[in-house]
Amino acid sequence: MKLTLKQIQLTPPQILVLGFAAIILIGALVLTLPVSSATGERLSFINALFTATSATCVTGLVVVDTGTYFSMFGQIVIVTLIQIGGLGFMTMATLFAFALKKRISLKERLILQEAMNQGSMEGIVRLIRKVIRYSLTIELIAAIIFSIRWSIDLGPAKGIYFGIWHAVSFFNNAGFDLFGSVSGPFSSLTSYAADPVINIVSMGLIVLGGIGFIVMSDLLEYRKVKRLSLHSKVVLSTTGVLILTGAVVMYAFEFSNTKTLGSLDWSGKIWASLFQSVTPRTAGANTVDIGAMRQASQFFMIILMFIGASPGSTGGGIKTTTFMTLIGAIVAMIRGKEDIVLFHYRLGKDRILKAITLTMIALFLVIFVAMILSTTESHPFLMILFEVTSAFGTVGLTMGLTTDLTVVGKILISLTMFAGRLGPITLAYALGPKTEKELYRYPEGKITIG
């Protein structure tokens, strides 16, 4: 019995998974073409697949240096994948639908709801319009500032090209860069560690891309309504605390390390500390050598990468709201309270269970992949754990393992990036069987905890 396309009923999570997979495959095939490389040689399919996955999942882990290996055509393909992956392929499809004045169907609205991690379809098309408008405006402003700054060092043509390219990459928290052609392969922004303009604009893009479009919308409408939603309050407060805490920790641990902050002046130390605190929140660019940092700093970065960005953003990780829900649960338990209260609001049990589920799935995924890689890769475990967490959080930072990965390692890291971008729960819904509502409940039982 043959199935027709109409008989195949795909759920929104399944459509998201297949859509991202299709974009990655197309991107990989294009990157294998001789025209995509600077020398005209073909990139192996496994390396092209890894690069396309990293770009579409806005991660930034690379097996070949983007600035030196790829031609301008290849670089444009990569930044296009970054833009599609960062905003989401359904958001990009909606942009074309708006341009063609096409009506958004109910099923498309359901998929957009899933893609934007929204609780309902109400106002979803209006939110997508805002997402597109905010993103293009922010990228344009950053591109202009970057272009002016880099035109001084690289000349007008290259400065403008670098400005546009990196504005898209950094806002989408991708971590890809072209400075291998300027400062040497895999150098990232290390030559601009103490540059205030590059630091401020880059960190601004990373933070704006990482807080999520819902929060950006709330902030822009604050002058009218004079209030912020609970979601925005939690995201902004958590983001601020994590950035400041991270900067203090980086400064304390790396202050005397001559291979990182030790060689910089006082202002350079502060800028580098802030940047290395912001970038693990799924950005991937770096202004100091990550592999030369002390182990304490590297492990702290693993924690920041695991937490990641915020819901509805271009970043990955378990998200700031999940982290705060878990912290709230700990505080409530210690105080002997039944409810988790944030900013005078009680969280529902469904939110708490989702936070615990997401964290446990993410933790199991990172541990499982790290254990497998520890048998296939001949590198220290901290380096492997750093790489896996970076892939899951769609960060793109590395201690130098990416280029040495075996074929098995590249496949596992690619799958981890894919899972991290879509989210473990979305992936579970897409791959798992369709659940039906239970018609009965079991009697309550008690077990001893702790």
How far is 153 from 150, CA to CA, in rounded Å?
Answer: 5
Tokens of 226: 């004079």
- Residue 263: inside a domain, yes or no? yes
Please check whether residue 447 lies inside any domain of the structure.
no
The two tokens of residue 258 are 């001559």
The per-residue pLDDT for 205 is 94
Q: What is the pLDDT of residue 434?
A: 56
Specify the pLDDT at position 15: 73
Interval 317-329: pLDDT, tens: 999 999 999 999 9
- Look at residues 203, 206, 202 and name the one whose alpha carbon lies nearest to residue 162: 202
Q: What is the DSSP string of 342-369?
A: ETTEEPPHHHHHHHHHHHHHHHHHHHHH
- Is residue 2 domain-resident? no
The HSE-up count of residue 406 (CA atoms within 13 Å, CB side) is 11
Give a yes or no: residue 446 inside a domain. Answer: no
Residue 93 C-beta-side C-alpha neighbours within 13 Å: 15
Rounded to the nearest angstrom, the gap between the alpha carbon of residue 231 and the centroid of all alpha carbons in its chain is 19
In a domain, 441, yes or no: no
**What's the CA dihedral at 203, 205, 208, 209 to 10 degrees?**
-120
434 part of a folded domain: no
Count of domains observed in the chain = 1
Give dist(CA 160, CA 145) in Å, integer: 10
Whether the CB-CB separation of 423 and 429 falls below 8 Å is answered with no
Q: CA 269 from chain center: how many Å?
A: 26
> What's the pLDDT at 7?
47
Q: Which region holds residue 240: left if phi is over 0, alpha if psi is between -120 and 50, else beta?
A: alpha
Low-confidence residues of the chain, pLDDT below 70?
1-13, 88-125, 424-440, 448-450
For residue 269, being part of any structural domain is answered with yes
Which pLDDT belongs to residue 3? 43
Q: What is the pLDDT of residue 2?
A: 47
Amino acid at 213: F
CA 410 to chain centroid:
18
Domain extent at residue 101: 12-425
Q: Taking the CA atoms of the chain, what radius of gyration do you get in angstroms?
A: 22
Task: Please report whether residue 7 resides in a domain.
Answer: no
Which pLDDT value is given to residue 413?
A: 96
- Among 133, 312, 140, which Cα is nearest to 213's? 312
Amino acid symbol at 237:
S
Q: What is the pLDDT of residue 4?
A: 47
